[in-house]
């Protein structure tokens, strides 16, 4: 039987949503992933780092830039047990500085994704997927990495139909 894993990284705390700085109890990507979870059967795995990220927006922006510049691979708190059982991975992440947050790359380098299908799902504040899909392909050259879906963070809650259509297009519904 084919099985899907929804793996995602998402922040809580201060975030610019539609140009306003607000406090998110659940990150935009997390909200999108939960909506998918309600539409289809899939296991969920939240990518979390041992070293917590700064909660304030500007400190986070600067911290993430440093990580990008150093191509950091922050250590993750836990692992997916039995990655072999999944043939499709919906990979949710925010656009950070034009690519995925570095912990998403830690995640991608932790398993063998050869022959698996990866569906990137990116939330952003205007840049769309940027380089994220190309970067995922570089790290997982033997995976079947699809073109991905980008949703503006502030529009996630109204994206039910878009998400549904995307899952249908990818034969998950």
Ligand X SMILES: Cc1cc2nc3c(=O)[nH]c(=O)nc-3n(C[C@H](O)[C@H](O)[C@H](O)COP(=O)(O)O)c2cc1C
Binding site for ligand X (CB under 6 A): 10-11, 15, 24, 27-30, 60-61, 64, 94-98, 123-127, 153
Please say which residue, 10 or 88, places its beta carbon nearer to ligand X: 10
Work out how close the CB of 23 gets to ligand X at its nearest, in angstroms, rounded to a whole number: 11
Work out how close the CB of 136 gets to ligand X at its nearest, in angstroms, rounded to a whole number: 16
Please say which residue, 30 or 116, places its beta carbon nearer to ligand X: 30
Sign of CA dihedral 57, 80, 42, 7: positive
Q: At a CB cut-off of 8 Å and minimum separation 6, what does 14 contact?
A: 21, 22, 23, 24, 55, 56, 57, 60
Please say which residue, 53 or 116, places its beta carbon nearer to ligand X: 53
Work out how close the CB of 2 gets to ligand X at its nearest, in angstroms, rounded to a whole number: 27
Work out how close the CB of 53 gets to ligand X at its nearest, in angstroms, rounded to a whole number: 8
Per DSSP, 158 falls in state: G
Please say which residue, 24 or 139, places its beta carbon nearer to ligand X: 24
CA–CA gap between residue 92 and residue 148 (Å, rounded): 10
Residue with the shortest CB distance to ligand X: 153
The answer to whether the beta carbons of residues 90 and 107 sit under 8 Å apart is no
CA–CA gap between residue 27 and residue 93 (Å, rounded): 10
């Amino acid at each position: 039987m084919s099985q899907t894993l929804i793996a995602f990284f998402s922040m809580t705390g201060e975030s610019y949503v539609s140009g306003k700085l607000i406090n998110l109890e659940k990150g935009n990507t997390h909200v999108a992933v939960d909506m998918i979870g309600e539409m289809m059967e899939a296991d969920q795995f939240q990518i979390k780092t041992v070293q917590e990220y700064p909660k304030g927006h500007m400190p986070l922006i600067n911290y993430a830039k440093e990580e990008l510049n150093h191509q950091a691979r922050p250590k993750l708190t836990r692992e997916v047990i039995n990655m072999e059982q999944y043939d499709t991975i919906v990979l949710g992440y925010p656009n950070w500085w034009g690519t995925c947050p570095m912990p998403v790359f830690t995640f991608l380098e932790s398993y063998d994704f050869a022959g698996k299908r990866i569906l990137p799902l990116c939330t952003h504040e205007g840049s769309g997927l940027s380089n994220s899909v190309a970067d995922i392909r570089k790290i997982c050259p033997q995976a079947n990495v699809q073109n991905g879906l980008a949703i503006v963070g502030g529009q996630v809650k109204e994206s039910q139909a878009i998400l549904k259509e995307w899952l249908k297009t990818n034969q998950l519904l």
